[in-house]
Amino acid sequence: MENYKPDPVFESLGREKGAPFYDPVTAAAFPEHHVRYRNQRWAEKVGLGGLTEAEWIAHFGRFEPLPDNLSAPVAIRYHGHQFRTYNPDIGDGRGFLFAQLRDDRNRLLDLGTKGSGKTPYSRFGDGRLTLKGGVREVLATEMLEALGVYTSKTFSLIETGEQLYREDEPSPTRSAVMVRLSHSHVRFGAFQRLAYEKNDEAIAALVDYCIAQFYPALNSKSGEARVAAFFGKVVQHTAQLVAQWMAAGFVHGVLNTDNMNVTGESFDYGPWRFAPVADPSFTAAYFDQTGLYAFGRQAEAGAWNLAQLGGALSLLASADALNEALQSFSGAYEEAMAEAFLRRLGIERKGEGDFAFVANFLKWMTETGAPYEQVFFDWFCGSASEERAAKSPVAELYGQDKFSEIRSALTAATPEKPERLAHEYFNAPKPCTMLIDEVEAIWAPIAEKDDWSIFEKKLEAIAAMREAHDFAASRFSP
């Protein structure tokens, strides 16, 4: 563990006036430990790449503390709006913060769990994770990282030998415990809980923690200006995240306030989906009957959630100051949409007119039902891919009059790092995708005969796509 740099700073928050930010908890004892996924690439970035399999299981299956790190796991307390209904009875119910450490760029990262056992906030749950849920999260995070989305990373997935019963999948089903790597576990709901309890001193302490660890440039500010500036940063990063989801054709599915955090990092993947086409009404969760979190309403959801965070921060700053920060969301979102879509298309920004192009591009995608990922694949680097696009399975769409304005803009744009097209990934007729039928096809042989070959092959395909795109998919840096 030569480059391992522990930094358990969350403990510094301590307990504030009877309203602790967390509770020490004990991990469940599992009967078996079979490593199903190990993120070696990111393990090396945080100095844990040299762990043996036995050591990996000890830390991420039995949760023996990492050296000089948190002495015990902590379940973080929070509330949240779930489908816009406030719920004061939630918190880390099947996960905890296990460790904090610095990566090879000296950024603070958290190791958090999912399926690690009961906590004081489990309510009627068993605190467990299904193996299928863990597999789905691996696929989501790997795919999103490859598409340039600022996402948490699935760090470890270990099958645990228990049988679980779930209403939404065939039961009994296999169990697992997962560890994710992310920059922050400070959810909007953590502030909401403290506001609910009218603990402005604790809110101030949490703001100070977030500024110190994630936005140190704001340290020079004080009072109301400090809080409003912090909120403005969260607004900006949330706008960027939603734009990245849109460019990836991704639907998170459950955009509750407890599923959004202060660094604007995508995490906690339940009923996610990738949209096959640009359908604004496309939803991920079968229980989202009104389409509240549909593909085309994710920006609305992000802004609504930010308003709730602003409401919690109003104990420390005026409504006018916070509203001014919130009003910046629209402009930040337009800028982020232009940035995310043009990056995905591999063309350079012009500045003026970039967002108008994105709006026209999405309008064409919506009207024609063009396969979402195929179009980005066909036109990557714009004019440099014109011959490739002519050989596409959907080349007929590109010859239609409706596409002429889009084609003109794409071919007039300057390709960004066109040498990326030399990667073998771009020699195939179709891109790597992750539609729901593919996810089920990956899971079926695992469930039926413990065959992980399709899963592993898909991860190899995603890795090739990630290398070919060469996106800076984890750009957050304090």
DSSP 191-237: HHHHHHTT-HHHHHHHHHHHHHHH-GGGGG--HHHHHHHHHHHHHHH
CA nearest 10: which of 197, 208, 148? Answer: 208
Quick: pLDDT tens for 417-447.
999 999 999 999 999 999 999 999 999 999 9
Whole-number pLDDT of residue 475: 66
3-class secondary structure, 468: helix
pLDDT at 17: 56
Question: Could you tell me where the DSSP H helices lie in 413-452?
Answer: 436-449
pLDDT beyond 80 at 379:
yes
In the prediction, which pLDDT does 472 show?
85
Q: 5-60: per-residue pLDDT in tens?
A: 999 999 888 765 566 899 999 999 999 999 999 999 999 999 999 999 999 999 99
pLDDT at position 473 is 73
Catalytic residues: 258
pLDDT number for residue 467: 97
Average pLDDT (220-241) is 97
Average pLDDT, the chain: 96
Q: Check residue 134 and give its pLDDT.
A: 98
Banded pLDDT at 474 (limits 50, 70, 90): low
Nearest partner of 96 among 28, 197, 146, judged by Cα: 28
Q: What is the pLDDT of residues 102-153, one digit of tens each?
A: 999 999 999 999 999 999 999 989 999 999 999 999 999 999 999 999 999 9
- Mean pLDDT throughout 155-173? 94
Other Cβ atoms within 10 Å of 435 Cβ, number:
16
**Nearest C-alpha neighbor of 96 from the set 137, 136, 65:** 65
Across residues 235-239, what is the average pLDDT?
Answer: 98
Q: For position 16, what pLDDT does the model report? A: 58
Mean pLDDT in residue range 82-102: 97
- Give the per-residue pLDDT at 169: 84
The answer, yes or no, to whether residue 341 has pLDDT greater than 90, is: yes
Dihedral angle sign, alpha carbons of residues 149, 150, 156, 158: negative
Q: Is the pLDDT of residue 156 over 60?
A: yes
- Band of the pLDDT at 209, cuts 50, 70, 90? very high
pLDDT of residue 404: 97
Q: Which of 381, 365, 376, 378 is nearest to 413 (CA)?
A: 381
Q: What is the pLDDT of residue 233?
A: 98
The whole-angstrom separation of Cα 45 and Cα 36 is 20
